[in-house]
Amino acid sequence: MSLSHSLKSFNSFGLAQSCADLVEAHSKEAVRAMCLPLWQRQLPMLVLGGGSNLVFTEDFNGTVVRMLSKGIKVSEDAEAFYLEVEAGENWHELIRFTLERGMFGLENMALIPGTVGAAPIQNIGAYGVELCDVCDWVEYLDLPSGEFVRISTAECQFAYRESIFKDKLRNFAVVTAVGLRLAKRWQPRLAYGPLQSFDPATVTAREIFNRVCQVRSEKLPDPAVLGNAGSFFKNPIVSAACYLDLAQRFPTIVGYAQADATVKLAAGWLIEQAGLKGFVLGNVAVHDKQALVLVNRGGATGRDICRLARHVIAQVQDKFGVVLEAEPRIMGANGEGDLYV
């Protein structure tokens, strides 16, 4: 079914799908006015931020609500700066905003695409920092009650690329604002890759920001040129015993010890070692500079992307016995599905 409102410019893969209705919410009250009736009538609804974490496999047979609310309020005390940020603000531009005003702590997460409202849903993170490290609270529209609810970081049940919004509150909540706490006594986070060469005694937040931007720009293609959703796969977390077994067989394997004694493996390394970096399957490919990224070479469909993702998962599992998980949401005609469409 070809529906009337194109979504091609609203998803970073550039997939030529459409929806039945497309509306814009410029305030919290607009979010409530648009989303509540749809939810109460059990009609298909998708709240869309930057569209950088979505794979449309079909035309969406419902209403897409574009989250465009804007606003940043700043307060402070002796210990920290406190930011109240509307869900429609651009994440990377928020980081620029904080750096220009001497507020540090977000710089490791530079150039993560998307909006602030999407950040807590999958607890975004990069280069050793996750949203949960700086989050103070999250406000959402509770669809069953129609009320705005604010919950603490602890109540968000954050984990690696997980939160209560992907679990118990999935389909029951629309994130409308995020509160951030940025400590005035700033500590650089330099444990990952290209940041390890910095001297923690002298490095500035701006230098970290610039390095992260440089590395991400070199490795990640511009979605306007080559459609993609950034990192397509989560870094798998395995037991210490599993990691030691893999390290014996593959001495150069990349892993990062976690606080709970598990080990986070570098999915990009696994994919590259499986011989898939640059692998082409029709109109889609594994990016030749960063194996974590799947790209639309032009004219690809969401089903093409899912087919390539399934191939990558199968090859990595066959070589390492490790199962990769996709990060983006897979959207079908009436709502969220999975890779096996």
CA distance 43 to 185: 48
- Beta-carbon count within 10 A of 166 CB: 16
**Nearest CA-CA partner of 305 in 275, 322, 326, 323:** 326
136, 157 contact by CB (below 8 A): no
- Return the active site residues: 161, 231, 327
Name the strands in the sheet holding 5-6, side by side, starting at the edge strand that comes first in the sequence.
5-6, 18-25, 60-67, 45-48
Element (H, E) at 24: strand 18-25
Chain position carrying tokens 């280069």: 127
Spatial CB neighbours of 251, under 8 Å, sequence gap ≥ 6: none
Q: Quote the tokens at residue 156.
A: 């968000």
Residue 120, φ and ψ in degrees, nearest 5: -75, -20
Q: Which residue has the tokens 């293609």?
A: 221
* Cα dihedral sign, 44-49-53-57: positive
Tokens representing residue 247 in the block: 């390290």
What are the structure tokens assigned to 245, written together? 């077994």
Tokens 């669809």 -> residue: 143
Show the beta-strand stretches assigned E in 168-252. Answer: 173-183, 227-231, 237-238
Cβ(256)–Cβ(150) below 8 Å? no
Say which amino acid occupies 204. Answer: T
